[in-house]
Structure 1
């Protein structure tokens, strides 16, 4: 049987969303699947330098950038690991993998504080950012 090689995006998600953590960080030491974000919650991931946003609602993602403000819609699959959750899909023919993990996050450009850390893997590029949901919003000025 030939060894199976996973794409980099799959490996990043596995490492970020499924790595067991110490019991002191709020993650179930017995490996309970991450359930802090309900399936009905809209999830938004944002980043700066370069600016980007991914909004996930149900099985659809909306990717926006300053150059594409209306955004591009694409199908996503959601999955949960031990320490967070992930989304995967194909954006303009390129694999996209996103992770959302608990942790205080700052976008570095405003006084906003976000409840999640976000990572996007897109065509060999890794983007770092922050995330929030409809039930777990960011705090700070809504329009800085």
Structure 2
């Protein structure tokens, strides 16, 4: 009976070894591409975290719009263009984007005067139409501060005209 027990032990060890494949040189082998996803982690183990880029929603082009006085600032990549009916257009290049959850600021310090445009998540109305915007906007040009609303250029293009 002893040879039977030894054979059973050997088969058991081989079966266990087959459950945990080893990579050449030791270590755990990478599962094949068609392997099912691993089971959920046991309670008490730390869950893996995924890194989220807070600037991702703000890498698109945006329109910041205000009334009284009327103004519009277009954000296209690193270029900020402010247009107003009562003043010449201001173009600021090399704007740097800084973002946190729900807020983005483009700063063009090399412009004369410096231009800083900020969008903050939150429902906004321009006060002149029924349009509702997804962001509140503030634009600072030197000492001048303009407040209004903001929307991605893509969403603005889809919106019905006001």
Place the TM-score, normalised by the shorter chain, in its bin. Answer: 0.5 to 0.7
Determine the C-alpha separation between the residues in 2 that align with 1:138 and 1:112: 13
Answer 1 or 2: which has greater strand percent.
1
2:9 matched residue in structure 1: none
2:150 is the alignment partner of 1:131: yes
Counterpart in 2 of 1:66?
85
- Quick check: which has more Rg, 1 or 2? 2
Note the C-alpha offset of 1:59: 1.0
- Whether contact under 8 Å (1:115, 1:137) holds in the other structure is no
Secondary structure of 1:94's aligned partner: coil
Show CA shifts across 1:26-49 (max 9, x none).
xxxxxx66346242x111101111
Q: Aligned-pair distance for 1:78? A: 1.4
Q: Which moved more, 1:51-60 or 1:73-82?
A: 73-82
Alignment of 1:29-44 (within 5 A): 34-35=54-55, 37-39=57-59, 41-44=60-63
Q: Which is further off, 53-62 or 76-85? A: 76-85
Aligned counterpart in structure 2 of residue 49 of structure 1, from 49, 57, 68 = 68
Range with bigger deviation, 44-53 or 128-137: 128-137
Aligned partner of residue 37 in structure 1, secondary structure: helix
Alignment match, 1:106: 125
- The unaligned stretches of length 5 or more in structure 2 are 1-51
Provide the residue aligned with 1:10 in structure 2.
Answer: none
Q: What corresponds to 1:88 in structure 2?
A: 107
Once residues 124 and 138 of structure 2 are traced to their aligned partners in structure 1, the CA distance between those partners, rounded to angstroms, is 12
Higher helix share: 2
CA RMSD of aligned residues (A): 2.5
| CA 1:38–1:129: 2 relative to 1, 3 Å | closer
Compute the TM-score of the two structures, normalised by the length of structure 2: 0.58
Distance change in 2, residues 1:34/1:138 (3 Å): farther
